[in-house]
């Protein structure tokens, strides 16, 4: 019995780590491009990003609306995903969408 537990120990350590978030900037950018596009209203873009787990405050940080999502990992490390919505000057639509590099935080 003790030998069985010893042989399973490496597997038990790998499984939680395998489920951790891994940074993939290209995939994240592609996902944002499918979620929000230039031309939709800022309110609709904020609503879509909020439904995707982002926290947005359309009243903050003019001229852009910044939306953020904190992604935790099992390790003492997390990643911050950001999306900047730049509104058009003529109406309440999104002129462009910026996806800054995913930032890391933690130990």
| Chain segment 1-43, per-residue pLDDT in tens | 555 545 544 444 443 444 445 678 999 999 999 999 999 999 9
Detail the DSSP E strand segments found in the chain.
55-56, 65-72, 77-87, 94-98, 103-106
- What value does the CA radius of gyration of the chain take, rounded to a whole number of Å? 19
pLDDT of residue 16: 42
Domain assignment of residue 54, yes or no: yes
| Residue 5 lies inside a defined structural domain of this protein | no
Domain membership of residue 8 (yes or no) is no
- What residues make up the domain containing 58? 21-106
pLDDT of res. 24: 87
* pTM given for the model: 0.74
pLDDT digits (tens, 9 = 90+) for 51-93: 999 999 877 656 889 999 998 766 667 889 999 999 998 888 9
> In this predicted structure, what is the pLDDT of residue 75?
67
Residues 6+ away with beta carbon under 8 Å from 64: 84, 85, 86, 87, 98
Is residue 38 a part of any domain in this protein? yes
- Please state, in angstroms and rounded to a whole number, the distance separating the CA atoms of residues 66 and 41: 15
Q: How confident is the model at residue 107 (pLDDT cuts 50, 70, 90)?
A: low
- Asked whether residue 4 is assigned to any structural domain, the reply reads no
49, 62, 90 from 37: Cα distances, Å = 11, 19, 17
- Any domain includes 11: no
Domain annotation covers residue 95: yes
Q: How many domains does the chain have?
A: 1
- Which pLDDT belongs to residue 8? 45
The pLDDT of residue 61 is 58
Considering the domain boundaries, does residue 10 fall inside one? Answer: no
Q: Within 10 A of 46 (CB to CB), how many other CB atoms are there?
A: 20
């Amino acid at each position: 019995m003790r030998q069985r537990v010893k042989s399973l120990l490496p597997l038990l350590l790998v499984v939680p780590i395998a489920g951790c978030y891994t940074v993939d900037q290209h995939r994240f950018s592609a996902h944002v491009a499918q979620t929000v596009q230039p031309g939709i209203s800022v309110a609709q873009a904020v609503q879509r990003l909020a439904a995707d787990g982002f926290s947005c405050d359309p009243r903050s940080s003019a001229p852009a609306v910044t939306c953020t999502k904190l992604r935790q990992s099992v390790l003492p490390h997390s990643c911050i995903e950001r999306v900047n919505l730049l509104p058009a000057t003529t109406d309440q639509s999104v002129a462009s969408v910026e996806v800054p590099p995913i930032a890391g935080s933690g130990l």
